[in-house]
A and B are shown apart, each in its own frame.
Chain A
Amino acid sequence: MIDVRDIAEVAVKALTERGHSGNIYAGLKP
């Protein structure tokens, strides 16, 4: 499990950086 706030950095990176288009980032299985 993760804190919902943990998603912030990944979301910001995907929104503002190049190179993430078409990618799917999946959480590690517990």
Chain B
Amino acid sequence: MALRSANGFFRTSSPLSISRSNAQAVARLSFRALVRSPERAESLRKLGVKLIEGNFADWNSWKHASDGVAAVFNIIVTHRDAVRWNNVFLDCAKQSGVRHVVQLSGMSVSPKSPAEFHRQMSQCDEALTASGLSHTILRPNVFYQNMLRFAGSIQERVAFGQQPAMPASA
């Protein structure tokens, strides 16, 4: 896998799995995840991840999840309130002393994008940059898995259909 940065290319050794050296680094770490439903995150718990039950809109949930955490992998969620929730996260991360944030954004994000989610990711990237937190932003292109959303319309009409609307509730 290769990703382009301002300084050149960022290459990894294996496209489908983490390398042995990274696996060893990961094995020394402990993880926690902020989840709305621990029942639905059972597979994470079985991997040794400590589940923090909470609500993305709730400051205390983010604070509880980020207290004592060194680094965060932040995934921008597809939701109308994603930017507001992300700002709550950034506030808590700063207060909790998080040292580094890796944010999963997207390719071609822009405040002028016709896609609402791309505008949101752009805002979240700008907020992270302005936060003063040490950070790395990942902007991958399209995931194969996203194509599964169109399986029905392709099967029925041999065409891409509309993406599902963003959820409105937390």
Contact = CB atoms under 8 A, between A and B. Distances in A.
Query: Do A and B interact?
Result: yes
Interface of A: 1-16, 20-30
B144 A1 contact: yes
A9 B140 contact: no
Contacts of A2: 1, 15, 140-144
A26 B107 contact: yes
Instruction: Label chain B's interface by main secondary structure.
Output: mixed
Interface in B1-31: 1-7, 10, 12-19, 22, 25-26, 29
Interface of B: 1-7, 10, 12-19, 22, 25-26, 29, 71, 73, 100, 102, 104, 107, 134-145, 147
A20 to B, nearest CB: 4
28 contacts: A1-B141, A1-B144, A2-B142, A3-B15, A4-B145, A5-B17, A8-B17, A9-B19, A13-B22, A15-B71, A15-B73, A16-B25, A16-B26, A16-B71, A20-B136, A21-B135, A23-B5, A23-B136, A23-B137, A24-B5, A25-B4, A25-B10, A25-B136, A26-B4, A27-B4, A27-B107, A28-B4, A28-B141
A13 B43 CA distance: 23
B144 A23 contact: no
A2 to B, nearest CB: 6
Contact of A12 (B3, B10, B26, B140): B26
